[in-house]
Amino acid sequence: MKIIETIKLTLQKAQAKREKTAVFHSQVLLNAELLKNLDPHEFCRKVGVTKAYHIEFRKMIAVARTLSELGYSIQTNKMKSIHLIQYDRDLELRPKPIAPGSQTYESGFWAFTIELANSFKNGNIYFHLDQESPSHLGGVIKDCWVQQGGKWKGRVVFKFEALDSHKGILPKNPGGWDRWMNLEE
């Protein structure tokens, strides 16, 4: 399962920031539907956490199930989301931090109308390698604009705050891809 490897990498990065437990909880909650049938001990072994985390795994799966039974969904919220495929061959188009070490990124240049792009402000953006892979980068969209000149004139650029919680996420509707994008409203 690709999601397991993604969660493992996300947890390794979170450990450096001393956020491992919080990120573990968020990853299990956000991916509960995919993880619910896994053996908790095996999951913990595969993502590289101690076996004591199996209790936390079970708690998060139970929380997700309880919320679902009450009519809530962890992944369903009022925020819109954009899932985009960031092809490796487009080095110029990859999301880049606005300054070295910054968590604020810009990603362009996308074929959206500015009206559609603006409707996703304060929503989620996720970047994938292909339609089956969980996101490897993502965050919350803070701004967007139309490129005014050069090769990409007329294309939309998104400015977003990168968040570890936005890694390892799959679209709610895996069949909703339209070539390079999957929009969730």
Residue 65 covered by a domain: yes
58 and 92 assigned to the same domain: no
Distances (CA, A) of 162 to 37, 96, 138: 30, 10, 5
13 and 51 assigned to the same domain: yes
Sheet containing strand 137-146, strands side by side: 96-97, 104-110, 156-162, 137-146, 124-128, 81-85, 181-184
Residues 6 or more apart whose Cβ sits within 8 Å of residue 176: 182, 183, 184
173 and 85 assigned to the same domain: yes
One digit per residue, pLDDT tens: the chain, 185 residues? 678 888 888 898 888 888 899 999 989 988 888 899 999 999 999 999 999 999 999 999 999 888 877 776 665 445 689 999 987 666 777 899 999 999 999 997 898 899 889 888 888 999 998 899 999 999 999 999 999 999 899 999 999 999 988 999 999 888 888 888 888 87
Number of domains in the chain: 2
99 and 154 assigned to the same domain: yes
Cβ contact 168:134 at 8 Å: yes
Residues 6 or more apart whose Cβ sits within 8 Å of residue 29: 60, 63, 64, 74
Residue 74 covered by a domain: no
11 and 50 assigned to the same domain: yes
Domain range for 57 is: 2-69
Q: Which of 43, 69, 95 is the last residue of a domain?
A: 69
Whether the link from the prior residue into 109 is cis, omega within 30° of 0, is: yes
